[in-house]
Chain A
Amino acid sequence: DQQVKQNSPSLSVQEGRISILNCDYTNSMFDYFLWYKKYPAEGPTFLISISSIKDKNEDGRFTVFLNKSAKHLSLHIVPSQPGDSAVYFCASAEYGNKLVFGAGTILRVKS
């Protein structure tokens, strides 16, 4: 079994600064992790992913870091923008796009 934990329910950041969202998992047999972003009344949308063969993956303002020994991943958003305000979910992927989600972190970017 896999458990995914996002221990910070919310995060508030000033526009232009870095946002760092954290995620921990329990089962190191899982080797693909994703971050999703969710606005109210919408479905989750894919943001960025990382495979366990890497320790970092970048896509524009978004970077995901994976520390396999600590079973920890983090999402960095630089610079943060007001439109980034949303709920961010970390997920661990199993065969067939089966996902185990964390509880989410609400990010508020203040202008």
Chain B
Amino acid sequence: NAGVTQTPKFQVLKTGQSMTLQCAQDMNHEYMSWYRQDPGMGLRLIHYSVGAGITDQGEVPNGYNVSRSTTEDFPLRLLSAAPSQTSVYFCASGLGGNTEAFFGQGTRLTVV
């Protein structure tokens, strides 16, 4: 099992550019989510999904879109990158209930 795989690991964007952060899991987990981590802060929830075709907003959703067409994949789209979106992004998946979430290695994004 590869677990949760995120690509790319690093990315530099110019303000206004768009891009998609990829996330894939091979554990057949129903629940997937995206978080961002900024210096001195904990991880904050951007968007989450409770299954294929179902997504909802988290604490900091503005500027990001998601879709979940398959159980395995949960891409995060930045439509028009802004310097405030410079952060480390983590994707996670889990079985729900009182169980742990598994995290990917992260994508470090810099918007200049």
Contacts and interface: CB of A to CB of B under 8 A. Distances in A.
A95 to B, nearest CB: 7
Interface residues of B, number: 28
B92 interface: yes
Interface in B32-59: 33, 35, 40-45, 48, 50, 58
B38 to A, nearest CB: 10
A57 B65 CA distance: 38
Interface of A: 4, 6, 9, 31-32, 34, 36, 41-46, 49, 51, 89, 91, 93, 95-104
Given A97-B33, A97-B94, A44 B105 contact: no
B42 A32 contact: no
A77 B41 CA distance: 23
Given A89-B42, A89-B43, A102-B42, A95 B96 contact: yes
A5 to B, nearest CB: 10
A52 B48 CA distance: 24
